[in-house]
Structure 1
Amino acid sequence: MSGIDLGNGIVGAILGVVFATLFQQWTQDLWFKVRRRSAGVVRSLTYRQEPGRAWAAFSLGPLHTPALIVEGDGDRAIAPESVHVQVLEGDAELPDEMVEWRDEIETEESRAAEAGERRPVWNGPRYAVESVEISRSALDEQSEVHLRLRPTDYYTFLAAQQLDRRLPDGTTPRGRYLDPDAPLTSPAFLQCSFATNIAVVTADHLLVVSRRSDRVRMAPGLWNSSVNEGLSRHIDSAGRNAPDLHSVARRGMREELAIEPHEYTLTLLAFVLDVSKRHWSAHFYARLTDLTGEQLQARMGRGVADRWEHGTIEYVPFRTADVTRYLLSPERLHRWAPLAPSLFHLALVHVHGRASVERAEAQVLRRL
């Protein structure tokens, strides 16, 4: 090799090193941008949004529920004076072709009672939901909720729960009366359930989680909110007054956990609809001021009015990561009552803030 060739080789090597040093990062950045933009173009060409779906039910990773959060985000409480409840004249009436379903239930319960086979289901007076209308106050844009109810009873509720039973013409109540693209539109006779669900947190920061008894008629054996109490026309409407949702929640706290109103603070977080079964819920958060988990357990051991409704009570540290792992644990993932996971999420947001909760949930989901 001549001296000229050797010199050219050395110069070329030096220029190569200089070029790599100066332009390697720039080249990598350019290549990354090209790849990212290309992927974005591909996604935009292949993505097809389902039309007409402005609403999405609550989900958390592999946990999917039919709970539609209609009003409330957990961050801002809904004031008691912002909830307006009206009871309309006239019962919610089943269509003629579904009346015989109710008659079947009544006949079977009467037969079971006479035969002494089991404890009969009491046909308690209830409320059907005519509508839930949401607006905002003029000055501060606070939630304004107008809840319109109609009288009904438990047998009508059980008949209306047969949403996928065939009618004489081959259709079903779900197919005939419900529009999946308009989840808030439904006849009152299909919405004969309104309950308060409460996330209770003890003074030592433990979330109370209940498992429904196997003896209850609806959702037996499922993990559920700390307290679940349905509206009752017999109990919650003194005289001709409309029911007060906070009073219903306090009744549930007393009957299911033996806790009196002066022992906790109560906050209304949201209105939520189970779009699968058409069950409405007012989601509450209750913080015990002095009672710890151990003290609550001891008190319940001394007697609870509605002990039969709960099969198990568990206590979970009220931290986002702990609650999220509890919700997603394999033994519970598909054993939740439909409205409970959204309640616990909203309670976490109310206490810890949305950004913190979503960040912690994302970390748990990444480690699954």
Structure 2
Amino acid sequence: MSGIDLGNGVVGAILGVVFATLFQQWTQDTWFRIRRRSAGMVRSLTFREGQRGAWSTFSLGPLRTSALIVEGDGDRAIAPESVHVQVLTEAVALPEEMDDWRAEIEAEENRAEASGDRAPVWNGPRYAVESLEVSRSALDEQAEVHLRLRPTDYYTFLAAQQLDRRMPDGTSPRSRYLDPEEPLNAPAFLQCSFGVNIAVVTSDHLLAVSQRSNRVRMAPGAWNSSVNEGLARHIDSAGRNAPDLHAVARRGMREEMSLEPHEYSLALLAFVLDVDKRHWGAHFYARLNDMTGDQLQERMGRGVADRWEHRTIDYVPFRSADVTRYLLRPDRVHRWAPLAPALFHLALVHVHGRASVERAEAQAVRRLQG
């Protein structure tokens, strides 16, 4: 090797060391930023794709519902002390156009009362849902549910149910205020309904399924949960206390089935939203301790407070295959109240386990399609 080559080699080595010293960190930082940006783009795409799937409503083969299970999978009950309910003092206020709709409803009910043509609809005090937020406890990751309510009334609820009625500018409440990609975000005046839905199973393993009366205002004639009870401000908020959802469920069991708390166990399984009508619900499972289906029928035959709400009650063996076949019966599959099928599925999971239930449901759907 000549002296020149040796000199060039030494200079090159020195320059390489200098370059590495000066630019190594910059190169690493740049490469890190590129990788992070690329990963972020992938995560963003994955999140958007996953989000569309995450907000799927409950379905079972040909049975499609508008019930979105917001919290709870049926496997583990939500503890009463994990549900925190807050009532805000300010009542919901309708936009001006929708407030005119409420005035129409009130005027029509006043005319009905004055003429005696029909019984007027009572403008009962209700609650609107401001928000429902879910977190996890630090130690055991139990659900912590925070439900915020506002005062409202039944006429406001009826006005808010006209989600597809056109306003003067051509929009509707649904198109103006609701985003299908963000189903949990909605103004409180469009969410003037919160109720409890209970799947009642007798001691001899029969699920009670009710059919709503044709005289009720919402979903007349639809097949529904065993018990359905809406929150009522004048009943469920003693003094200044916020309503207790378990207490509301017990009131529903008493008024619709003449059952007292010592006669059953009660488990809160989920919080569910009807994304079409903006109805919120808490789903419960109730197991009767000693009362059979025949005994329950006899008990109800001696009188119930809210008999007019139910047209009839069916009793279905509380096995996954039997309940699934019942849900998918040709004379039932398109006649369900939106939140009921998800309730029965969650109750099955709570008792029989997810794997067993989903296997039986898949078999029933395959037989139906084959």
Measured against the shorter chain, the TM-score band is: 0.7 to 0.9
Confirm or deny: 8 A CA contact 1:272 1:280 kept in the other structure: yes
Displacement, 1:118?
Answer: 1.2
- Rate the CA distance shift 1:326–1:158 in 2: closer, same or farther, 3 A: same
Aligned residues: 321
Q: Distance in 1 between matches of 2:366 and 2:191?
A: 38
Residue 122 of structure 1 corresponds to 122
Residue 275 of structure 1 corresponds to 275
1:109 aligned to 2:75?
no
Displacement, 1:114?
Answer: 1.1
Residue 364 of structure 1 corresponds to 364
Residue 4 of structure 2 corresponds to none
1:252 aligned to 2:252?
yes
What RMSD in Å do the two structures reach over aligned CA positions? 1.1
Q: Distance in 2 between matches of 1:329 and 1:244?
A: 36
**Equivalent position amino acid for 1:213 in 2:** S
Displacement, 1:115?
Answer: 1.0
Q: Distance in 2 between matches of 1:148 and 1:58?
A: 25
Residue 186 of structure 2 corresponds to 186
Residue 208 of structure 1 corresponds to 208
| Structure 1 counterpart SS, 2:296 | helix
Confirm or deny: 8 A CA contact 1:192 1:279 kept in the other structure: yes
**Equivalent position amino acid for 2:282 in 1:** A
| Structure 2 counterpart SS, 1:367 | helix
Residue 336 of structure 1 corresponds to 336
- Rate the CA distance shift 1:67–1:51 in 2: closer, same or farther, 3 A: closer
Normalised by the length of structure 1, the TM-score is 0.86
Alignment of 1:3-42 (within 5 A): none
Residue 237 of structure 2 corresponds to 237
Q: Distance in 2 between matches of 1:92 and 1:185?
A: 16
Residue 38 of structure 1 corresponds to none
Q: Distance in 2 between matches of 1:51 and 1:93?
A: 31
Displacement, 1:54?
Answer: 3.0
Confirm or deny: 8 A CA contact 1:53 1:181 kept in the other structure: no
Displacement, 1:317?
Answer: 0.2
| Structure 1 counterpart SS, 2:54 | coil
| Structure 1 counterpart SS, 2:135 | strand
Displacement, 1:53?
Answer: 4.8
Residue 133 of structure 2 corresponds to 133
| Structure 2 counterpart SS, 1:158 | helix
Q: Distance in 1 between matches of 2:111 and 2:68?
A: 38
Query: Could you list the per-position Cα deviations for residues 174-224 of structure 1 after superposition, in whole angstroms to 9, with x for gaps in the alignment?
Result: 000000000000000000000000000000000000000000000000000
Displacement, 1:230?
Answer: 0.2
Q: Distance in 1 between matches of 2:226 and 2:50?
A: 36
| Structure 1 counterpart SS, 2:129 | strand
Q: Could you list the runs of 4 or more consecutive aligned residues of structure 1 that deviate by over 4 angstroms after TM superposition? A: 49-53
Q: Distance in 2 between matches of 1:235 and 1:221?
A: 26
Displacement, 1:51?
Answer: 7.3
Residue 322 of structure 2 corresponds to 322
**Equivalent position amino acid for 1:90 in 2:** E
Displacement, 1:117?
Answer: 1.2
Q: Distance in 1 between matches of 2:51 and 2:82?
A: 33
**Equivalent position amino acid for 2:312 in 1:** T
- Rate the CA distance shift 1:248–1:50 in 2: closer, same or farther, 3 A: closer
Residue 43 of structure 2 corresponds to none
Q: Distance in 1 between matches of 2:362 and 2:53?
A: 24
Q: Distance in 2 between matches of 1:360 and 1:215?
A: 36
Residue 70 of structure 2 corresponds to 70
Residue 59 of structure 1 corresponds to 59
Residue 349 of structure 1 corresponds to 349
Query: Could you list the per-position Cα deviations for residues 66-118 of structure 1 after superposition, in whole angstroms to 9, with x for gaps in the alignment?
Result: 00000000001100000000000100110011100000000001101111111
